[in-house]
Structure 1
Amino acid sequence: MGWGRTYFAGQAIAGALWWVAVFASPAVREMTLGALNPVAVAVLDIPLFVVASALAAAGVRGAAIVSTGWTVLVAVSLAGYATVTAEAGWGVVAMVAASAGSIVALCLVLLGRIPTEWLLRGPFAFRPANARPSHAAHLAATFGQIAVFWALFLAVIPFVAASLEQRWAIALPFPAVAGAIGGVVLVAASLLGIWSALVMSTLGNGTPLPAAMPTTLVIAGPYRWVRNPMAVASIVQGVAVGLILSSWVVVVYAIIGAVLWNYAIRPHEEADLERRFGADFRRYRESVRCWIPRLPVAASLT
């Protein structure tokens, strides 16, 4: 049995156990369904979620599509219900997680793999920067990107996530010093991100943008210690914002971003760098880690 079918088998078992808990425990029912009638929900959810997941585990591809579609629909609907009523917040968390797992499992069942290359289409496709623009133009493009990304991923999305966390009554207590620690870490990570952007734009003859990648391999500044310091900075910034907002949802959001970048984006990015820079990049990759800094051997990078 492949990983996709194995996931659907686990989902079928978890779904069946959850329904047992819903009818056996008023507390579970209230946390996950709020005031919704469990019988009315079960009439649809048991065949379309539990049974369909079991059939998907048995190899019925159509059932995998049905189960995934229903799971996503329930997650969206339950999120709307929880936002309006401030009930069933933990049900939203469970169904959002199930939706993500189901989508990945469906890809494995139908395609035999996760098509991560779909994330790198259009403006996100890797293209070398035009050699004509000056360093000033590259810097302007880089800091324009930073302004947009920081506003979206470090302000708008975390604020919305933290607000929904409170609305859905799924917030957890944080230590009183979490905000102060988060503030210090955010400043440090932001400085690392800015330093990395400056080095990339001035020495790489390009930008961190996928559509305007550097045309020179950069191994100076923070790139001597980690291969993608901007990614490291971004993940740490996300965690710091979560601490400032006392939001475990935002912290998880940052961690998910790290996993997504590491397993979905990084392999394509490094394959592109290897195609363009060949042995120089291979030596660099062997000498400098991706996430954990270490002092590089100078001779191996020159």
Structure 2
Amino acid sequence: MQWGRRYFAVQAIAGAAWWVAVWISPFVREATLGGLDPVAVAILDVPLFVVASAIAAFGVRAAAVVVTVWTMLVTVGLAGYATVTGEAGWGVVFMTAASCGSAVALCLVLLGRVPTEWIIAGPFAFRPAGTRTSPTAHVWATAAQIVVFWGLFLWVFPVLIAALEQRWGLSATVPWLVDAARPVGVVVFVLASALGIWAAAAMSTKGDGTPLPAAMPNRLVIAGPYRHVRNPMALAGIVQGAAVGLVLGSWLVVAYAIAGSLLWNFAIRPFEEADLEARFGDDFRRYRAAVRCWCPRLTAVSAAELGRESDPLIR
């Protein structure tokens, strides 16, 4: 709860400072509000955002709810306004960040923690694949996952984000740097994709399962790229997202990839690794101690390092 209150205190100060900047700087006013009347906006925003954040900093739960709901409504409304008019793009960026921060702080104030377990509920809950499913079926399911997830998260969403970035007037203003980054992005994307496919193949052919949360492998696979890094598919996906941002010349897409990495690392990975530890026990604990999550080993982990004389799944 204390961290939530601290966040609202910082938000109150930042909000007050922003309104001061709006009144004294035409540049700040135009970049964040566009053609909106600052007086009309301030009549509601100062009490519902600045003042409510200050009150929430004292642990008043009702104020925390008010400021969070108001921030989200403003974010949606401002995004619509920016999309129609092409103005106030930076206001959308800042309010989106404030919405995410307020939502997390609200959870801390109300619950004392962030209920990340909600992310893996229902169809996203971790479950092992059916033992009667054939290896071929696992391979096809993994291939379908790659097509759907890569198409959605590495094409549809980035293209939409890049289009909004351009519409909101947030595109990079150094054309030669954007052009120079594109071929780098293509090379990095190809390499990251190869890593992702290699990891998916190892998982589906040796683990009696798939990378899907609802059909996880029944065996602890330490093969292929898993001998160098614990989460090669997640690493590949994040690098792919950043590479797509370079290809599209979109810093917002790169930020989207970074945000995805933070969400996965802090909200999803702990549950995934807890599930693996519960199912594979000491084998997974030794593997976790020997192989890092993000930074690959230069040399592949061996069976001896994992306390085994040999293992057909470690190769």
CA distance in 2, matches of 1:255, 1:23: 33
CA distance in 1, matches of 2:156, 2:300: 37
**Where in structure 2 are the equivalents of 1:97-116 lying within 5 Å?**
97-116=97-116
- Report the alpha carbon displacement of residue 187 of structure 1 after superposing the two structures with TM: 0.5
Match of 2:292 in 1: 289
| 8 Å contact kept, 1:4–1:104 | yes
Match of 1:178 in 2: 181
Match of 2:140 in 1: 140
Instruction: After superposition, give the CA deviation of every residue in 1:258-292 in whole Å (9 maximum; x if it has no partner).
Output: 11101000000000000000000000000000000
Match of 1:262 in 2: 265
Query: Matched residue of 1:261: which SS?
Result: helix
> 168-177 or 38-47, which moves further after superposition?
168-177
| 8 Å contact kept, 2:228–2:301 | no
CA distance in 1, matches of 2:277, 2:99: 35
Q: Give the count of matched residue pairs.
A: 302
1:276 correspondence with 2:276: no
Match of 2:41 in 1: 41
CA distance in 1, matches of 2:97, 2:20: 20
| 8 Å contact kept, 1:287–1:296 | no
Instruction: After superposition, give the CA deviation of every residue in 1:206-244 in whole Å (9 maximum; x if it has no partner).
Output: 000000000000001000000010000000000000000
CA distance in 1, matches of 2:284, 2:268: 17
**Mind listing any 5+ residue stretches in structure 2 that lack a counterpart?**
309-315
Query: Matched residue of 2:210: which SS?
Result: coil
Match of 2:221 in 1: 218
- Report the alpha carbon displacement of residue 175 of structure 1 after superposing the two structures with TM: 3.7
Deviation beyond 6 Å, 4+ runs, structure 1: none
CA distance in 2, matches of 1:26, 1:202: 60
- Report the alpha carbon displacement of residue 296 of structure 1 after superposing the two structures with TM: 4.3
- Report the alpha carbon displacement of residue 300 of structure 1 after superposing the two structures with TM: 1.8
| 8 Å contact kept, 1:61–1:110 | yes
1:2 correspondence with 2:35: no
CA distance in 2, matches of 1:44, 1:222: 54
CA distance in 2, matches of 1:249, 1:279: 41
| 8 Å contact kept, 1:32–1:89 | yes
Instruction: After superposition, give the CA deviation of every residue in 1:4-51 in whole Å (9 maximum; x if it has no partner).
Output: 000000000000000001011111100000000000000000000000
CA distance in 1, matches of 2:17, 2:100: 20
Percent sequence identity over aligned pairs: 69
| 8 Å contact kept, 1:142–1:201 | yes
CA distance in 2, matches of 1:204, 1:227: 14
Match of 2:84 in 1: 84
Q: What is the RMSD computed on CA atoms of the aligned residues?
A: 0.8
- Report the alpha carbon displacement of residue 297 of structure 1 after superposing the two structures with TM: 4.2
1:165 correspondence with 2:170: no
- Report the alpha carbon displacement of residue 176 of structure 1 after superposing the two structures with TM: 2.4
**Mind listing any 5+ residue stretches in structure 1 that lack a counterpart?**
none
CA distance in 2, matches of 1:16, 1:152: 39
TM-score by length of 1: 0.99
- Report the alpha carbon displacement of residue 171 of structure 1 after superposing the two structures with TM: 1.2
